[in-house]
Structures are given as structure tokens and as C-alpha cells.
């Protein structure tokens, strides 16, 4: 059964810093991996979807990479801003199965 972990559970950084969030999964036979942002009390906003055949995807200051063989994905945020403060969740999709979500990393960017 697929298990997804995210470390660290929480992270505080000063504004302007580049940072990396980690997502690990146990079954490497995935079809795709999706990164989400969640603000307090809100739904999930899709940030990036990376297919298993891709190594990375970019959107603005965000870059997601995928290493299936090691069971890891990273979300890189460049030049962080206070508006980036939120919880970031990854979800792993295996073909024919539903997504499995990680517990999230709570990010605080301090002005």
C-alpha cells in the first residue's frame, strides 16, 4: 500500500530565502504526483502536476522535481514571500488507484 510522508512537518524561513519541501513515497510505480497549497480553513489549490515520465515541472517561482527510483519529489520555492505562507501537500497517484496524500508541510515566511 502506498504511503506518503512529508518532512519537515513545519518550516519557518525569512523572506527572500530559497527553500525546498520534501515528499517521499514507498511505491515507486507511480503515474503522477501533484503538489497542492492549502491556506488555513480553505480548500486545496493545485500548484503543479508532474507525470512519471517527467523529471520536473516549473510554474513561476515554483519548481517540482521527481525521482521515482528513490521515491522522492521536491518542491523548490525561489525567493520566498510572506504570501507563500501556507501548508503544502503532495499527493501520489498510482495507475488505477486513487491519490494518496501526505500530511503536509506548514510553511511560514517571515517578513
Partner 1 sequence: DGGITQSPKYLFRKEGQNVTLSCEQNLNHDAMYWYRQDPGQGLRLIYYSQIVNDFQKGDIAEGYSVSREKKESFPLTVTSAQKNPTAFYLCASSIASGGANEQFFGPGTRLTVL
Q: Kindly report the backbone phi and psi dihedral angles of residue 82, in degrees, each rounded to the nearest multiple of 5, phi listed first.
A: -55, -30
When asked if residue 53 is in the footprint of partner 1 (CB under 8 A), the reply is no
What is the Cβ-side half-sphere exposure of residue 18, based on CA atoms within 13 angstroms?
6
Q: By rule CB under 8 A, what string of x and - marks binding of each residue 81-110 to partner 1?
A: --------x-xxxxxxxxxxxxxx------
Q: Is the peptide bond before 64 cis (omega within 30 degrees of 0)?
A: no
Cβ contacts of residue 41 below 8 Å, gap of 6+? Answer: none
Selected from 21, 25, 34, 86, the binder of partner 1 by CB under 8 A is 34
110: helix, strand or coil: strand
CB-wise, 5 or 63, nearer to partner 1? 5
When asked if residue 42 is in the footprint of partner 1 (CB under 8 A), the reply is yes
Interacting residues with partner 1 (CB under 8 A): 4, 9, 30-32, 34, 36, 41-46, 49, 89, 91-104
Amino acid at each position: 500500500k502506498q504511503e506518503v510522508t512529508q518532512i519537515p512537518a513545519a518550516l519557518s524561513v525569512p523572506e527572500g530565502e530559497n527553500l525546498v519541501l520534501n515528499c517521499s513515497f514507498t511505491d515507486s510505480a507511480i503515474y503522477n504526483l501533484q503538489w497542492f497549497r492549502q491556506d488555513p480553513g480553505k480548500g486545496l489549490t493545485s500548484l503543479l502536476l508532474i507525470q512519471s515520465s517527467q523529471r520536473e515541472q516549473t510554474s513561476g517561482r515554483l519548481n517540482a522535481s521527481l525521482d521515482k527510483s528513490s521515491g522522492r519529489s521536491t518542491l523548490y520555492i525561489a525567493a520566498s514571500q510572506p504570501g507563500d505562507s501556507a501548508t503544502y501537500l503532495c499527493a501520489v497517484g498510482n495507475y488505477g488507484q486513487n491519490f494518496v496524500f501526505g500530511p503536509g508541510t506548514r510553511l511560514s515566511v517571515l517578513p
